[in-house]
A and B are shown apart, each in its own frame.
Chain A
Amino acid sequence: MTAAVAAPPGALLRELRAVHALVLRDLLRMFGQPLQTVVMLAQPLLFLVLLGGGLAALVPATAVGGDYRTYLFPGVLVMTVQTPALTVGMRLITDRESGYLRETLMAPVRRSSLLYGHCLGGTAVASAQGAVLLAAGSLAGLPFHPLLLLSLLATLALTAFMLTALTAALAIGIRGVESFHTLLSLALMPLLFLSGAFFPLTALPGWLTQLAAVNPLAYAVDVLRRSIEGYVPGTLATTGVRWAGRQPPALLELLVLALMGAGGLAWAARRFGRLE
């Protein structure tokens, strides 16, 4: 009995424990700072209520395929998961400055496991916040339907994972929080506006639609909107990304998200492995 307890645990078990520790850290931090979490959730809600409320009477249903608030909801959801996902990158940089990252790197596990832990932690926090915002779906005219909510949550989790992996990959090479901030504020605006969150991508001039087709957020918004399409009568999700003039199937769009996430993760793991 004593020997069984003293025997070293399996290598995989150890890696899993390390991943779990990092995810748990992120969740504990979230529950430890309820005010910050509420503030993070307030911003997308304000967008939904103020921008959606203001424009709903102005934007004709024919332009966006239904009520504007319903149209805006996928974008609001993506905004919700975006902030916590980006926080992971920020944390990597502050952890590196404070020395916490070096402590983490001392753990007797693979470097890649540590990175997966960081990314999964960000994904978990972002998904939790996305789930809270899903409860506000009725403001946008969404019915309370478990299947709809589940499919939206799954897409949000995938989106959060993709964003986390890409931000982590970027953040590893950056030394200061300020330069990371600058980079983000430069990148976020076009990413959001070219995602179809606020207006149909089909309304953009041709060269901008090309850009939108390589924007990961455009796929996330489009998949979410297409999930909603079947549940809210009178909505049509035909204004999203186009490949050679045709709308790609939703499954293919999900695959694009997953591939971008996996690519980001592989890139991040490569850079993470070289840190000293």
Chain B
Amino acid sequence: MPRQKEASDSAGDRAGHTGRYAICAHGLTKRYADAEAVCGVDLHVRPGETFGFLGPNGAGKTTTIAMLCALARPTSGRAVVAGADVRTQQQQVRRGVGLLFQQSAVDPDLTLERNLYLHARLYGLPRARSRARSAALLELTGLTERRRHRVRTLSGGLRRRLEIARALLHEPGVLFLDEPTVGLDPHSRAQVWDHLARLRAHRNTTVFVTTHYLDEAEHCDRVAILDRGRVVAEGTPAALKAAIGDDRLRVRTGDDAAAAAALREDLGLRPVTAPEGLTVAVAAGPRQIPRLCAALAARGVAVHAVSLTEPTLDDVFFHHTGRRITPPGAPLGGDGNRP
């Protein structure tokens, strides 16, 4: 007992003010021989918070998670996760965190029950406790009836739920989820988020989740946007959207170039040209529409359609990076973009 106290004291000293956070990183950097994958990431995640980590593929999300879970060694910078330093207290970090990988794997030839039991033992839980925890999590994820089935027979959504159950076996205070819904159908995606919400309500677990489905980021208390290894914006989804202008007007005209010039010169706006028309950020959008139409009519530009949308996180990403996070053809944030 005295030894344990000493260990937590020294961890507290080293953590300093970082003790208040479930995840705290300063200048976290990972450099590979040919490229810098993560450059100087700072993060502060409070206990019990659901924190979204957004960015396109290759932005460095997975590498950041690997460093926060003490799987990969940071080239420089430091991080304290679940009260332990990722550089010097790797095993303590791992005991305190649960991790769901992007391509998570369970042994397909073993049953659900056995997969969970083996994983609990791997994490050092005693036999009886391993059995009890496995049963409790099968219950929580609604998989109890399937417990004697081989994992091979599960659908993608159920398998994901089993993997979430596995990540929670050792009761981690911080749960890392790397693209937990990638490759799932919309129904299964919604179910995963339901489970995460329930988990939060029950146990106050800190959840750190990466995704490139921007609509899912709306489930988070706060998000950070990562681009090319750097955090370019951080805040609540509402604050991030408010910061880039209240509304977007999408305008379709007979001559986009002339219309853009008119908006710039006559109204002092900054329109962005895209193949499907012009987009312009304005405050108090509904009142701007008549003004905008009048200005365009004065220049003799035919207006075919004007639509007003509230900004999405994709707009936030575009604002900070000049690129869209969602590849063409993939579902965008919000509901209106899917047929």
A108 in contact (CB, < 8 A): yes
Q: What count of chain B residues pass the 8 Å CB interface test?
A: 29
B196 in contact (CB, < 8 A): no
Given contacts A99-B101, A106-B69, contact A25 B107 (CB under 8 A): yes
Q: Which of chain A's residues 71-119 have a Cβ closer than 8 Å to chain B?
A: 95, 98-100, 102-109
A128 to chain B, nearest CB (A): 17
Q: Are the CB atoms of A29 and B109 closer together than 8 Å?
A: yes
Which residues from chain A contact B126 at a C-beta distance below 8 Å? 9, 17
Main secondary structure on chain A at its contact with chain B? Answer: helix
Which residues from chain B contact A25 at a C-beta distance below 8 Å? 107, 110, 118
B1 to chain A, nearest CB (A): 7
A22 in contact (CB, < 8 A): yes
Q: Are the CB atoms of A109 and B110 closer together than 8 Å?
A: no
Which residues from chain B contact A189 at a C-beta distance below 8 Å? none
Which residues from chain B contact A186 at a C-beta distance below 8 Å? none
B88 in contact (CB, < 8 A): no
Q: What count of chain A residues pass the 8 Å CB interface test?
A: 29
Which residues from chain A contact B101 at a C-beta distance below 8 Å? 99, 102-103
Name the contact of A276 in the complex, choosing from B1, B71, B106 (C-beta under 8 A): B71
Q: Which of chain B's residues 64-110 have a Cβ closer than 8 Å to chain A?
A: 66, 69, 71-73, 91-92, 94-95, 99, 101, 103-107, 109-110
Which residues from chain B contact A276 at a C-beta distance below 8 Å? 66, 71-73
Q: Are the CB atoms of A107 and B71 closer together than 8 Å?
A: no
Name the contact of B124 in the complex, choosing from A14, A104, A106 (C-beta under 8 A): A14
Given contacts A8-B4, A106-B71, A107-B94, contact A24 B118 (CB under 8 A): yes
B136 in contact (CB, < 8 A): no
B195 in contact (CB, < 8 A): no
Residue-wise interface mask of B (119-161) relative to A, using a CB-CB cutoff of 8 A (1 in contact, 0 not)? 1011111100000000000000000000000000000000000
Given contacts A28-B114, A99-B104, contact A104 B109 (CB under 8 A): no
Which residues from chain A contact B107 at a C-beta distance below 8 Å? 25, 29, 100
Given contacts A8-B4, A98-B105, A276-B71, contact A108 B110 (CB under 8 A): no
A271 in contact (CB, < 8 A): no
Which residues from chain A contact B124 at a C-beta distance below 8 Å? 9, 13-14, 17-18, 107-109
Q: In the complex, A98 Cα to B66 Cα: how many Å?
A: 17
Which residues from chain A contact B99 at a C-beta distance below 8 Å? 106
Q: Are the CB atoms of B71 and A108 closer together than 8 Å?
A: no
- The chain B residues found within 8 Å of chain A, CB to CB, are 1, 4, 66, 69, 71-73, 91-92, 94-95, 99, 101, 103-107, 109-110, 114, 118-119, 121-126
- The chain A residues found within 8 Å of chain B, CB to CB, are 7-9, 13-14, 17-18, 20-22, 24-25, 28-29, 32-33, 95, 98-100, 102-109, 276
- In addition to A29-B107, A109-B122, 9 A-B residue pairs with Cβ atoms within 8 Å of each other are A7-B1, A9-B126, A13-B124, A17-B124, A25-B107, A99-B105, A107-B122, A107-B124, A108-B92
The 4 A-B pairs at the shortest CB distance, nearest first, are namely A14-B124, A21-B121, A99-B105, A108-B94
